[in-house]
Structure 1
């Protein structure tokens, strides 16, 4: 008897061209310490002393109360997202090599994978692709929760990538 196949992943993908060389954009999306600077309603919980390395773990808090005092009532209206870095490949414009970051979500609310692909276009532009294959941990089936999580993620990701493009754009 063969093992049952895992349910197909529900992938959500949002892309945006940003006006910087690929290595600059990659530095921003791969380094989890920068995420609160451009991700909507997100904060990094706990210190992060260095840039990304394979095996690094982090916890992000996202939601309407994420940037408030964590002890306040609104501070609890957040999704806690624990992750581990499983892939880091830096881009190269000269070699036309795509940069890739992949994170595994560890719960307690979300499971699955997420990542960024940074596609060099020329010396002053690249395309940042943010993708997620996330679903709710818990008793409800992945096939039910992944599309619902995907709807919320698509809005969150689109707004955040716009903020990234603004942050990296000409001043």
Structure 2
């Protein structure tokens, strides 16, 4: 039997983007942009501004409803070589855990975006299946979705830069 309280293993995907870190951070931290580059995703709860700590929102990606709360927003600085970070807490009903983006300044024209997820299925979503079975499948699905999404974001931003 597996412990439902144990933290999920991290899934991480990174991509070098042709943008200064503060611009790349705006793209990944602002939830309103996500439907443009994450397949089959839309923001259910309307957002009129970029997120701030304490904000709660709901994203739907395909059949998965993902309620989250913003825990941390730390903006990057290329001049100070400061990494930008977001951290979101997943509230269910399907996924629990945490997720976020780290934006690492490379130089004044490029940044490395790291999307990470430490998520597991909520007990009701997993049904009778143990985490030892559902976690590896979920990690694979997240990895594919994150990789495709960051590739789409890269192509979108490259087209905008032309």
The verdict on a shared fold, with TM-score over 0.5 as the criterion, is yes
Structure 1 stretches lacking a partner, 5+ long = 64-77
Q: CA RMSD in A?
A: 1.6
* C-alpha distance in 2 between matches for 1:102 and 1:142: 23
Q: Does 1:149 align with 2:148?
A: no
- Give the corresponding residue for 2:15: 16
- Give the corresponding residue for 2:76: 91
Within-5 A mapping of 1:84-163: 84-138=69-123, 139=127, 140-163=129-152
3-state SS of 1:50 partner: coil
Q: How far off is 1:143 after superposition?
A: 4.0
- Give the corresponding residue for 1:54: 53
Greater helix proportion: 2
- Give the corresponding residue for 2:30: 31
Paired residues, what number? 154
Contact 1:15 1:127 in 2 (8 A): yes
Q: How far off is 1:149 after superposition?
A: 0.8
User: Which TM-score applies when normalising by structure 2?
Assistant: 0.90
Cα deviation, 1:107-147, whole Å, max 9, x if unaligned, reads 00000100000000000000000000111001544443222
Contact 1:133 1:146 in 2 (8 A): no
Deviating more after overlay: 17-26 vs 43-52 = 43-52
Q: How far off is 1:47 after superposition?
A: 1.2
Q: How far off is 1:50 after superposition?
A: 1.1
User: Which TM-score applies when normalising by structure 1?
Assistant: 0.85
3-state SS of 1:120 partner: strand
* C-alpha distance in 2 between matches for 1:25 and 1:37: 14
Contact 1:7 1:142 in 2 (8 A): no
Regions of 4+ moved over 2 Å: 6-9, 139-146
* C-alpha distance in 2 between matches for 1:150 and 1:18: 24
